[in-house]
Every structure is written in C-alpha cells, then in structure tokens.
Structure 1
Amino acid sequence: MSAPRNKQDRQAFGRLSLPERTFVANALRTETVGGVLLLVAAIAALVWSNIPALHHSYEAVSDFHLGPGALGLDLSIEHWAADGLLAVFFFVAGIELKRELVAGDLRDPKAAALPVVAALCGMATPALVYVVVNAIGGGSMSGWAVPTATDIAFALAVLAVIGTSLPSALRAFLLTLAVVDDLFAILIIAVFFTDDLNFAALGGAFLGLAVFWLLLRKRVRGWYIYVPLALAIWGLMYNSGVHATIAGVAMGLMLRCHREEGEEQSPGEHIEHLVRPLSAGLAVPLFALFSAGVAVSGGAIGDVFTKPETLGVVLGLVLGKAVGIFGGTWLTARFTKASLSDELAWPDVFAVASLAGIGFTVSLLIGELAFTDDPLLTDEIKAAVLMGSLIAAVISSVLLKIRNAKYRALYETENRDEDLDGIPDIYEQDKPEYHLRMAEIYERKAAEHRRLAQVAAGAGGEDERPA
C-alpha cells in the first residue's frame, strides 16, 4: 500500500519551497522594476507620437537607418529595437525556461501540468476568440496570434502600482505561466512568421550555435569569446529569414542551469543575473518606446471597437486570456483531484488570469509581423493591444484590490521571522529546534514584560532600569 500523499502535494498554488521562493522573489523584483520602466517608456512613446509639434521627430528617429548594409543589417531604429534588443529579452526567456525545466516547477511533470495546461488554454482561447470575431465580421485572420502573449513585466508593474501584496504562490504561478507562454510565442514566431529561407545563412547560424554549445561543454570562459559569437549568430539568423530573436532563445537554452557541487550559482543563473537588468531596464523599454507610438485620438480609440481585427485583439486579451487560463487551471485541478490552497479561492485565480491579459511586448511584436504589408492596420492593431492591455489591467486591479486585505495577511505570515535568523518562520515550524527557540524567545519577552511591570509599580529598586 502506497503512503498517503501530503496535503501540500495535492494543493494547487500551495506554499513554495524556500529556495524556489527566494528565486521567484529575486526574479520578480527585477521584472517589477523593468515593468515600471516599460510603463514609463510606453507613456513616453504615446506622448511623443501624439503631440503635433513632436510627431515628426518621433517618426524621424524611428525610421533613422544605421548598420552595415554589406551584411544585410542596414536597419531602422525601430527595426533594431524589435529584432536586436528583443533578442536579449528572449535570451533571458530561454534561460528562464531552461531553469524551469531542470530546477523549477517544470522539472516535475505533475507540477508542470497545471501551468502548462493553463498557458496553452490561455493562448488557444484568445486565438479562438479572434478567429470567431473575424469570421463573423469578415476581417483578416492574419492577427490570430496577437492576443496570445502575456507580458510578465507589465503585469508586475501593475501590481507594483496598485500596491497589492499578492501571495508568492500566485506570483510564482504568474511567472511560470509567462515562461511557458513565452516558449509557445517563440514557436509561433518561428513557425508562422518566417519569411523565405536563406539556407546558407541558416546553416551558418546553426554552425555558430554548435560552436557556442561546444564551447560551453568544454567550460571555455570569457565574454570576449561569447559576445562576438552571439552577435554573429544573431546576424546570420536575421539574414536567414527566421526571426532573429530565435537566436537569443536558442543560446539561452544551451546554458547549464543546474548547480554542481561547490557552486553557489549555475552558469545560467549567473549570466541571467547579469543580463536580466539589461533586458528589463534597457532592451524592453526601448522596444516599447519605438513600438507603442500610435495615434490615440477619440476616433482611433472608437475604431478599435468597430473593426473586427482590432476588436478581436481586445476581446482576445480581455476575455480570452481570463477564460482560457482560469478554465485550464480549473479543469487541471478538477481532473487531477488537486485542491486549491486553503488560503486562496477561485476568484483569486480568475484575478491573476485577468492580469495575464496584459499582452504588451510580444503582442506588439507579433502585430508588426502579422501585418507587415499594411502599416495603417499595424498601427490599429498596436492601439488594440494597448487598449486591451489597459482594460485587462483595470479589471484585474479591481479584482485584486477586493482581496488585498487577505493577501496582505498571507504575505505577512509568509515573511514573519520572529527569531531573526533570516528564514521565515513558516518554513521552520515542523522542526523541533524551531519550537524550542520560539519558546525561549517568548519566555524572554514575558520576563521582560514582568520586569517592566515591577519597575512601573515601584517594586524594582533604584538600580533596576528597563532594558
């Protein structure tokens, strides 16, 4: 007869292990800062492109070309931001995915089932919503993939702005969901948005990746080796017709993300720690600055809700994401007989699912790829992404604020450290030495209170003073 499973193992959104909790906290802290910068960049782009006196300068800067034309890299600033800087973002996404596969939630198929199914449903449902809307309205099916992506940095920026103390389990779910979401977004870009292939350049890119992998296996060190090689791989991938960000993902996945004996960090964790600030603090905000500059007049906003392509994007992000992720999570929990954590309720899951409807960075990128032959529709799709993300942010903010008092209590419980040993008490409660240490602390506090009471009553003598 097999041993009964621990209740924690049967719970969806149960408490994280301490190492995983620490990693998630550090990762989300950087993403939150990056999300705030992303928000600032998006607002700056809207202001810059919508003030009549500045509009032409925005277009002039966005369209300014630079780069070696002989290598096929004479690109506009906007193009460099989308194909070049976002490769850094996807490089970090590749490392995150590799870490999740070897050391995070995705290494265990049972634990991985919930975020993977939720992410798949959270991508399929928005695409289905878009297709249905455009089938009824007679619009273009080219943008079906636009509302499928979640922007974790923007979502965390919303959490930072509204000040909600979201429990670590829900934050970890959001992060894991976004990692899986990024993986499938990468596959969509690679499969559906690849131009005519240049097999010579593609072969050169694969050869460069093989050399990159071999150097890693041989434990060769030195940024002066890897950075030029990475740039060469990126340039070859760009010229091959495959979207250049795929090169970043591939190199990220090749890094070793498990720790060996005596290591405080794996090479992947170390490089991610170095590169993530560059991605969150520079690459993604600059992409937003040169991609979010669309006209936001009353007429343009009204058009978002009248054209089938743009309406499909808005409904996909707002409705499709929330229903897809919530439905996928509920079905997975239902058919795996997993129960929701005692401290949470299903409306909490729906609120987080609504938050995932913020699909800024990758949605803007896919919007540009889907309608390259129609610049006007591209701008309208961008406006739809902004509007859908804004609506999703407002809805999720209201839902999360309603439960914020409960979240704050959970957050305080998760972080309480009465014995000041740097480890939250909730992770030590099953240890006998913890209870002994806590008893000693409470006894010292009680003795101090008794002594202070005696002093206040004048029974302590002249030499007694409160500590």
Structure 2
Amino acid sequence: MASRPSLPSFRPTKDPNVEEERSRRSVAEFLRLEVTGGVFLLIAAALALFLANSPIADDYLSLRDHHLDIPALGLELSVGHWASDGLLAIFFFIAGIELKRELTVGELRRPAAALLPVIAAVGGMAVPALVYVTVVGVGDGDMGGWAVPMATDIAFALGVLAVVGRRLPGALRTFLLTLAIVDDLIAIVIIAIFFTSGLNLWALLGALAGLVLFHQLHRRGVHGWYLYVPLALTIWALMYNSGVHATIAGVAIGMLLRSTTGPLEKESPAERVEDIVHPFSAAVAVPLFALFAAGVEVSGDTFADMVHEPEALGVTLGLLAGKVIGVFGATWLTARFTKARLHPSLTWPDVLGGAMLAGIGFTVSLLIAELAFTEAPQLEEHVKVAVLLGSVLSALCASVLLSLRGRAHARATEASADADTDADAPGPPS
C-alpha cells in the first residue's frame, strides 16, 4: 500500500525584512527616550575623563587636536572642533524643532501657562551669572566666563528626571522642559552676540540667503532629503565662515520646519524629521561632543588649583547654588506677586527638586567654556572640571530630593485610593 503523501506545512514563516524593520524601529524608539540620551552622555563623559587621565592620554589628546581641514570651503577644524561646531549643530537643530513646537502648539503658545517656567528660566540664568561675577570680582579673576554656569542641559536633566521621577507628576517634566527650552534659546542668543569673532558679512548674508531658500522650498511643499541636506550643510559652512558660531545654523533650520499638521497629515514635517534625527543626536552627536569636550585632567593638584581660581569656584557655585536660587526664587516670587500659579499636582518641594536639576549645565556650559577661555587653555580645563563637578553635584542633590518626593506622591496616591475604596464599601446593615 502506497504511503500517503505528507501534507505541506502551513506554519507561518517570519519575514526577515519585517523582523529587521521591527528591530530597527525598536532601537530607534529606545534612542528617543530622554533617559537614553542622558545615559549615553554620562558614559561618554566618563570615558573622556578616563582617557584623559590614563596612560594613553597623549594619544587621546593628539586625536582630539588632529586637524581635518577642508581648505576650499574655509573649514579648518580639529576633531574636537568638528564635534563642537559640527555634530553639536545637530543637537541644536533638535532644540530648534522643540522650541518651534512649544511656540506654536506647546506650553509657550499660551502666555499664562508659560509664565512661570519662562520667568524661572530667566532667573535661573541671571542668578548664576551674578554668582560668577561676584565670586570672580572678589578674586580679581577673568570675567569672560560669566555665561558658563547659565545653561541647563536638556538631555541630561530630563534623563535624571526620567530615572528618579517616575512617580512624580507629569507637570514637573513639562515645567522643566519649558524652562530648559527657554534656557537654550537665551544661551543661543548669548553665543551669537557675545562669542562671535571677526564677522564676515558676505558669508553671513549667504547663510541668511540659504535659510530663505530653505524656508521657501519647505513652504511650497518641495520634498526630497537630497535637496535639504546639502542646503543645510551649505548654510552651516557659511555660518561657520561668517564668524557666528555654527550651531546657530542648526537652531535656525530647526525653527523653519513646520510643526503643525496639514490636511491628510498624521504628523507634521518637524515631527517626522525629529523622529529620524533625534536618535542620531542622542546616541552619536552629543556623546561624541562630550567625548572630546569632557576629557580634562583631574587630580589632587587640579582641585588644589581650582580652590584658588575664582573662575572655577564661580562656575561650580553658579551651577550648584545659583541655579537653585534663581529658578526656585523666580518661580516663588512670580506666584506670590502675580496671578500665575503652579500646576495643581505640583508642590514647592517638587519645584525645588526641578531647580536642582536645572543646575546640570553639561553640554552648552562646556561649549561656552571652550569659547570663553580659548586663549587660556589651562583655565579652560579647570573651568570644564568645575562644570562637571557642579553638574554632578546638582544631579545627586536633585536625585535624592526627587526620589523622596516620588515616594511621598506614591503614598498620597495610595491613601487617596484607599479612601475611595472605603467610601464605596457598603455600610453595616441597619
């Protein structure tokens, strides 16, 4: 008897292309998380400190200072400057997109809702600068670094909040994000005005013409990365040659993207571009900047020298104390003397923890330190150590307080849930 032929298997097979796309999408979503950007930033900074204080420190410094010039385009930059002027422009591009979104559809769209974090940002920049000027003035130091302790690092601050603040009200994240965006905007203006040297008017006009062309193409709905990417690179190169810091080009281009959805659109062009670029910014651009910017020699002699350097003391105290006083004080005074009020879910201890997080100055503070102390390399190194020290201490203090506040909010939520349960329970029979 002939054997019955076996039936073909109809077990579904996995499409390798679908699996690869799903895996790639999962990685991209992971990289978009603020906590991921903060972790990568922290790892890169720790690696930079290790390399700068290891037996291969000379090789590390040689790589950082190695020039990769493009003379035909007027680009004469070391590897470190390619990271700070080039890769960091991508970070500022994302900041520009976030700022545009906040101004059009976010918290900054409604002045009443934005009042507290906006004034908190201004106070959080003015007081650290005042602390620096006071300390340096008493010590007869270099006033050029007044802007170093003014900045708040969005990625790092929100990364710490994402780790320790999971049980905190979402309103605290909105408050901190709005504050950090306004902080970035003011820092960008400061960089453009005070750290621009040898202005080349023709190059600047060329960059502005490129921005106008970018805007017109985008407004008319012209698509194609092969048009926009070369145009963006041209704008960046012209901005660099103009003498204005090249990262300003990133902000300007980001703010030109439309952040509102049009007919038949599920998401705006700004959201689509940010989804693509933000993982690269978080996982590559900012960490590489930190890898070359945070590589400073740290030893007992370094800290001994810093104690006698008013610039380093001014930066550390500006970040650690000035930010807290400025952010919390400005918020409290505004709520006390105006009709502006905190979100109902927030308490003043929550705001105090957020003010401590604002003392994490890292990325932009390191950039301004490079710009402010170009002519004094040793002082620049010590100020960078001060930025790292002030940022780490601020992060630790904020982590302790916000962890305690998270537990308090969790207990309050549980107590409220128990009260609701008791209220719903049937009473004793009559």
RMSD: 2.3
**1:233-272 equivalence runs, <5 A:** 233-272=235-274
Is contact 2:116-2:341 (8 Å) kept?
Answer: no
Residue-pair matches, total:
392
Aligned equivalents of 1:69 and 1:410: distance in 2? 63
Alpha-carbon spacing, 1:410–1:364, altered in 2? closer, same or farther (3 Å): farther
Runs of 4+ aligned structure 1 residues displaced above 6 Å come to 410-413
Q: Which residue of 1 aligns with 2:180?
A: 178
- Deviation of 1:406 after TM superposition, in Å, equals 2.5
Alpha-carbon spacing, 1:340–1:159, altered in 2? closer, same or farther (3 Å): closer
Aligned equivalents of 2:413 and 2:227: distance in 1? 44
Q: Which residue of 2 aligns with 1:9?
A: none
Q: Which residue of 2 aligns with 1:370?
A: 372
- Deviation of 1:160 after TM superposition, in Å, equals 4.6
Query: What are the Cα deviations for residues 397-450 of structure 1, in whole angstroms up to 9, with x where unaligned?
Result: 12112222134467999xx9xxxxxxxxxxxxxxxxxxxxxxxxx9xxxxxxxx
Q: Which residue of 2 aligns with 1:451?
A: none
- Deviation of 1:341 after TM superposition, in Å, equals 4.2
Is contact 1:147-1:317 (8 Å) kept?
Answer: yes
Q: Which residue of 2 aligns with 1:87?
A: 89
**1:90-109 equivalence runs, <5 A:** 90-109=92-111
Aligned equivalents of 2:300 and 2:53: distance in 1? 12
Alpha-carbon spacing, 1:163–1:210, altered in 2? closer, same or farther (3 Å): closer
Q: Which residue of 2 aligns with 1:421?
A: none
Alpha-carbon spacing, 1:245–1:154, altered in 2? closer, same or farther (3 Å): same
Is contact 2:171-2:345 (8 Å) kept?
Answer: no
SS in 1 for 2:346: coil
**1:30-41 equivalence runs, <5 A:** 30-41=33-44
Alpha-carbon spacing, 1:28–1:47, altered in 2? closer, same or farther (3 Å): closer
Is contact 1:147-1:313 (8 Å) kept?
Answer: yes
Query: What are the Cα deviations for residues 226-280 of structure 1, in whole angstroms up to 9, with x where unaligned?
Result: 0000000100100010000011111111111012233211111111111111111
Aligned equivalents of 1:28 and 1:132: distance in 2? 41
Aligned equivalents of 2:103 and 2:247: distance in 1? 20
Alpha-carbon spacing, 1:232–1:348, altered in 2? closer, same or farther (3 Å): same
Is contact 1:200-1:240 (8 Å) kept?
Answer: yes
Alpha-carbon spacing, 1:411–1:50, altered in 2? closer, same or farther (3 Å): farther
Q: Which residue of 2 aligns with 1:229?
A: 231
Is contact 2:168-2:405 (8 Å) kept?
Answer: no
- Deviation of 1:305 after TM superposition, in Å, equals 3.1
Is contact 2:169-2:346 (8 Å) kept?
Answer: no
Aligned equivalents of 2:134 and 2:30: distance in 1? 37
Paired residue for 2:337, among 330, 335, 338?
335
Residue 289 in structure 1 maps to residue 303 in structure 2:
no
Query: What are the Cα deviations for residues 189-222 of structure 1, in whole angstroms up to 9, with x where unaligned?
Result: 0000000111111111111111111101111000
Aligned equivalents of 1:154 and 1:408: distance in 2? 24
SS in 2 for 1:372: coil
Q: Which residue of 2 aligns with 1:42?
A: 45
- Deviation of 1:113 after TM superposition, in Å, equals 1.2
Paired residue for 2:307, among 305, 308, 323?
305
Deviates more, 1:122-131 or 1:200-209: 200-209
Aligned equivalents of 1:37 and 1:213: distance in 2? 33
Aligned equivalents of 2:384 and 2:377: distance in 1? 11
Alpha-carbon spacing, 1:411–1:222, altered in 2? closer, same or farther (3 Å): farther
What runs of 5+ residues in structure 1 fail to find an aligned partner? 1-25, 417-441, 443-467
Aligned equivalents of 1:194 and 1:374: distance in 2? 18
Aligned equivalents of 1:350 and 1:62: distance in 2? 38
TM-score calculated relative to the size of structure 1 = 0.80
**1:269-280 equivalence runs, <5 A:** 269-280=271-282
Aligned equivalents of 1:410 and 1:235: distance in 2? 54
- Deviation of 1:29 after TM superposition, in Å, equals 5.6
Is contact 2:97-2:257 (8 Å) kept?
Answer: yes
Aligned equivalents of 2:68 and 2:413: distance in 1? 49
Is contact 1:149-1:181 (8 Å) kept?
Answer: yes
Aligned equivalents of 1:125 and 1:380: distance in 2? 22
Aligned equivalents of 1:343 and 1:72: distance in 2? 53
Q: Which residue of 2 aligns with 1:462?
A: none
Aligned equivalents of 1:354 and 1:154: distance in 2? 12
SS in 1 for 2:33: helix
